[in-house]
């Protein structure tokens, strides 16, 4: 096995795989090191062999035609033609033990009165509560928006930076607005990692990284040593703080106190017949419950099964009680579960003013051969992560001609 590379990428979520894809396309010998047993990170579409391979999304579930960097990768891989439309089904609120319509929590008069501020109120540097409370009204924020935002980022939303949510991006007209794949979004990381131009190694435990003027030495816990001219860290900020080599103290200080939100995701599968009472649904937005949200697989219906991922707050309910809470929200007995699995997800807990920190971080990295990428720069969407990976790629390797 080769030990010398032009570029080593640590972390095989979409940020790291994107960074590796960009450099491998430019002919750089690229290695990806992933700690876990699979690629994809927060993109994870577990399937159940005993249920004819039925799968459901345990993490990222929707891509949009505004995801330009993602679509450029899909073009490279010949996957753009394989995208599947998502059936339009709506979310419901889960409040005080009942499924309710979203509009039941909307204060229309207040929204109409506040809405003009949408065109004038500045977003930069403001928290989600501050900005959205202004542009849609405090009652709308309290009763609906805070829960909807929590459902998206799977953590309390009040102090999150408003500018890191819903960034406007140009849309590609030749691609459907919202899409998935026949085998789920995990199709994307799996296809990137399967390219022969990339060396992707899972179950890799990194012990230590050294840097010099000419590159990096990555020592693994099994004692092996790998070398590269360039290094990209595509791991959560707490892991990046541990892995940053000596010489990157300023960057480490800026990264070290970025928080992470832990999410306990429970995936439950049922037979159609056991959920006849529940019309197709995109998912549930919980109002003050032990879970933030549930996302269903109803956007790509299957003849036999329906799947749901419940994203629970950490350390609130034990595994058994989570199952009963999720079943209560779906109105079905736990005895009817056809299959289940649990997944640990993590998302960054960004705070207002985060983009100013990123500017400082970029100054600390300028002129070095080390890139930092992830879903903790511009925002948490897959495209935000890939936008960062691409700009770091250009910094390390120059713009494509």
Ligand X SMILES: Cc1cc2nc3c(=O)[nH]c(=O)nc-3n(C[C@H](O)[C@H](O)[C@H](O)COP(=O)(O)OP(=O)(O)OC[C@H]3O[C@@H](n4cnc5c(N)ncnc54)[C@H](O)[C@@H]3O)c2cc1C
Exactly one of 161, 385, 392, 393 binds ligand X (CB under 6 A); which one? 385
Residues 219-238 that bind ligand X (CB under 6 A): 234-236
Query: Considering the complex, what minimum distance in angstroms separates the CB of residue 233 from ligand X?
Result: 9
What's the full length of the chain, in residues? 401
Interface with ligand X: number of residues (CB under 6 A): 35
How many CB atoms neighbour CB 132 within 10 A?
28
The 3-state secondary structure of the chain reads: CCCEEEEEEECCEHHHHHHHHHHHHCCCCEEEECCCCCCECCCCCCEEHHHCCEECCCCCCCEECCCHHHHHHHHHHCCHHHCEECCCCCEEEEECCEEECHHHHCCHHHHHHHHHHHHCCCCCCCEHHHHHHHHHCHHHHHHHHHHHHHHHHCCCCCCCEHHHCCCCCCCCCCCCCEEECCCCCCHHHHHHHCCCCEEEECCCCEEEEEEECCEEEEEECCCCEEEEEEEEECCCHHHHHHHCCCCCHHHHHHHHCCEEEEEEEEEEEEEHHHHCCCCCCCEEEEECCCEEEEEECCCCCCCCEEEEEEEECCCCCCHHHHHHHHHHHHCCCHHHEEEEEEEEEEEEECCCCHHHHHHHHHHHHCCCCEEECCCCCCCCCHHHHHHHHHHHHHHHHCCCC
Q: How far is the CB of 180 from ligand X (least distance, A)?
A: 9
Site for ligand X in 84-123 (CB under 6 A): none
Q: Which is nearer to ligand X, 62 or 183 (CB)?
A: 62
| Span interacting with ligand X, options 141-149, 223-231, 277-285, 339-347, rule CB under 6 A | 339-347
**CB of 93 or CB of 209, closer to ligand X:** 209
Question: Applying CB under 6 A, does 137 fall inside the site for ligand X?
Answer: no
Minimum gap (Å) between residue 122 Cβ and ligand X:
25
Closest distance to ligand X from the beta carbon of 159 (Å): 18
Q: Which of 228, 374, 392, 396 binds ligand X (CB under 6 A)?
A: 374
Whether the CB-CB separation of 392 and 234 falls below 8 Å is answered with no
Say how far apart CA 192 and CA 28 lie, in whole Å.
Answer: 15
- Give whichever of 14 and 268 is closer to ligand X, judged by the CB atom: 14
Which of residues 38 and 336 has its CB atom nearest to ligand X in the complex? 38
Residue with tokens 């051969």: 369
User: Is residue 266 part of the contact set for ligand X (CB under 6 A)?
Assistant: no
Least CB distance to ligand X at residue 176 (A) = 15
Give whichever of 295 and 396 is closer to ligand X, judged by the CB atom: 295
Among 93, 206, 275, 281, binds ligand X (CB under 6 A): 206
Provide the minimum distance between the beta carbon of 271 and ligand X in the complex, in angstroms, as a whole number.
24
Q: Which is nearer to ligand X, 271 or 346 (CB)?
A: 346
Q: How many CB atoms lie within 10 A of CB 213?
A: 6
Of 83, 135, 254, 382, which one interacts with ligand X (CB under 6 A)? Answer: 382
* Positions in 31-50 near ligand X (CB under 6 A): 33-36, 41-43
Site string for ligand X, 13-32 (x = CB under 6 A): xxxx----------------
In the shown chain, the binding pattern of residues 280 to 299 toward ligand X, with x for contact by CB under 6 A and - for none, equals --------------------
Q: Out of 380, 387, 390, 396, which residue is the one contacting ligand X (CB under 6 A)? A: 380
> Where along the sequence are the contacts to ligand X (CB under 6 A)?
10-16, 33-36, 41-43, 59-62, 154, 206, 234-236, 239, 263, 311, 345-347, 374-375, 380-382, 385
């Amino acid at each position: 096995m080769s030990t010398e590379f032009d570029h080593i990428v640590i972390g095989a979520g979409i940020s790291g795989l994107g960074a590796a894809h960009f450099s491998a396309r430019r002919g750089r010998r690229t290695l990806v090191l992933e700690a876990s047993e699979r690629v994809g990170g927060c993109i994870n579409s577990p399937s159940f062999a005993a249920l004819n391979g039925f799968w459901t999304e345990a993490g990222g579930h929707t891509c949009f035609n505004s995801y330009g960097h993602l679509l450029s990768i899909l073009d490279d891989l010949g996957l753009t033609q394989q995208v599947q439309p998502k059936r339009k089904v709506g979310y419901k609120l889960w409040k005080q033990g009942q499924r309710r319509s979203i509009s039941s929590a909307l204060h229309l008069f207040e929204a109409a009165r506040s809405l003009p501020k949408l065109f004038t109120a500045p977003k930069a540097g403001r928290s989600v509560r501050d900005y959205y409370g202004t542009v849609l009204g405090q009652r709308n924020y309290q009763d609906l928006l805070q829960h909807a935002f929590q459902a998206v980022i799977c953590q309390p939303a009040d102090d999150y930076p408003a500018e890191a949510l819903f960034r406007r991006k140009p849309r590609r007209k030749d691609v459907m607005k919202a899409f998935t794949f026949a085998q789920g979004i995990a199709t994307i990381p799996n296809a990137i990692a399967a390219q022969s131009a990339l060396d992707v190694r899972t179950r890799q435990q990194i012990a230590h990284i050294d840097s010099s003027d000419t590159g990096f030495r990555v020592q693994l816990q099994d004692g092996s040593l790998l070398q590269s001219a360039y290094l990209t860290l595509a791991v959560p900020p707490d892991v990046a703080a541990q892995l940053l080599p000596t010489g990157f103290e300023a960057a480490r200080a800026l990264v070290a106190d970025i928080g992470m939100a832990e999410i306990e995701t429970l995936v439950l599968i049922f037979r159609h017949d056991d959920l006849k009472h529940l019309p197709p649904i995109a998912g549930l937005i919980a109002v003050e419950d032990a879970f933030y949200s549930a996302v269903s697989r109803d956007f790509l219906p299957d003849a036999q099964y329906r799947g749901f991922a419940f994203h629970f707050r950490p350390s609130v309910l034990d595994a058994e009680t989570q199952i009963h809470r999720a079943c209560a929200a779906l109105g079905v007995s736990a005895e009817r579960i056809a299959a289940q699995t649990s997944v640990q997800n993590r998302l960054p807990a960004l705070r207002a003013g985060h983009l100013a920190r990123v500017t400082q971080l970029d100054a600390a990295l300028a002129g070095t051969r080390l890139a930092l990428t992830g879903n903790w720069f511009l925002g948490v969407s897959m495209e935000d992560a890939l936008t960062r990976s691409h700009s770091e790629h250009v910094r390390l390797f120059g713009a494509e001609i």
